[in-house]
Amino acid sequence: MRFAHVVGARPNFMKIAPIMSALREYANVEQSLVHTGQHYDAKMSRVFFDELRIPRPDIDLEIGSDRHGAQTGRMMIELERVLPELRPDCVVVVGDVNSTLAAALVAVKLGIPCAHVEAGLRSFDRSMPEEINRIVTDRVADVLLTPSADADHNLLEEGVPKAAIHRVGNVMIDTLLSHLERAKRRTTLEDLGVEPGSCALATLHRPSNVDDPVALESLLDTLEWIQERLPVILPVHPRTRKRLEEFSLLERTIAMPNLRLIEPLGYLDFLALTANAKLVLTDSGGLQEETTVLGIPCLTIRANTERPVTVSVGTNIVVGSDQEAIRHNIEEILEGRAKVGTIPDLWDGRASERAARVLVDYLTPG
């Protein structure tokens, strides 16, 4: 049986790595990998392939950045051309980025079954591009592999047949657990001159936070306040750097004495920093999950989350962009009253093993 995996953006890579590795255990499975090129900078893409030992893509479409319609459309044109050449029995897509959506639509239109890993997550906020990608991908996919019970519930509510839903757990956590020791051996903290457990790690890249100058400036006010209390490390996403420059805010950011602006990090260095952070401030989806598993307090600078289990079970608090709420929660953490969480069910490092079993069973006649 032949699987074609399609990836494109940074958060896809840590999800596809353990799936491909679990499928490799099956003698009758052949796999190919297509990279759309949605992310193309070495620091956003190649480093993850190297560190996570993902095989080189069989096909790299090199689509690059563009507006959503143009980017997704160009991916679809190219995928429609290359997927039939790979003759897959099933196309596997992960997460919620534009590459996920493009590949799912093309696969089903070509009559190739599509499996979606990380299905069923919903923020119920249709202004988020990822929410549209999630809804449409789940609507057309044939096999829905979910990370948590809330995802099953969302899909059932939308009328998805129960037989199509398979709760396998969180595949990204497989990657985290299998690389944690390697990450801890890195000299990341020494290189940055920070003590374990002493700094805040911040990431910002959502359009709602960085594309609006008022929102971005207000976040800088918050970062300024935080860095007066503890060192802050901010690996800057290319989108965010572009906006800081465009809105003439880069100078101000660089001038904050206790805020370290650094380039995007590879998987291992970033994991080392997360695991040793005093707290994490983020608008990322994946980082909400990673901090929950690592037991690190996480404040999510968004109005909502598609990963509610990180709030109900884990260490995550959704604080929105309310400066007061952010400051209050940071004070709580610094005074030793951080939220304590546990690890959600099936986030145990074996989700991809279960996913591979489902995928192989799906293609096994009878």
The residues annotated as belonging to the active site are 205
Structure tokens at 217: 């400036």
What SS3 class is residue 281? Answer: strand
User: Phi/psi at 358 (nearest 5 deg)?
Assistant: -60, -45
309, 288 contact by CB (below 8 A): no
Residues 216 to 275: which contact ligand UD1 by CB under 6 A?
237-239, 242
Q: Closer to ligand UD1 at the Cβ: 96 or 174?
A: 96
CA 193/CA 195 separation, integer angstroms = 7
Determine phi and psi for 333, rounding to 5 degrees.
-65, -45
**Binding flag, residue 166, ligand UD1 (CB under 6 A):** no
Q: Is residue 295 part of the contact set for ligand UD1 (CB under 6 A)? A: no
Is 49 among the residues that bind ligand UD1 (CB under 6 A)? no
Site string for ligand UD1, 3-42 (x = CB under 6 A): ------xxx--------------------------xxxx-
Q: How far is the CB of 355 from ligand UD1 (least distance, A)?
A: 21
CB of 205: closest distance to ligand UD1 in angstroms? 5
Instruction: Determine if 2 is a binding residue for ligand UD1 (CB under 6 A).
Output: no
# of chain residues touching ligand UD1 (CB under 6 A): 19
In the bound state with ligand UD1, the residue whose beta carbon lies nearer, of 306 and 353, is 306
DSSP secondary structure letter of residue 35: E
Write the CB contacts of 353 (distance below 8 Å, at least 6 apart in sequence).
22
- Residue number with CB closer to ligand UD1 (166 or 205): 205
Q: Three-state DSSP class for 298?
A: strand
State the Cα–Cα distance between residues 207 and 218, nearest whole angstrom. Answer: 14
Angle CA(299)–CA(301)–CA(307) in degrees, nearest 5?
75
In terms of CB distance, is 64 or 320 closer to ligand UD1? 64
Residues in contact with ligand UD1 by the rule CB under 6 A: 9-11, 38-41, 44, 65, 96-98, 129-130, 205, 237-239, 242
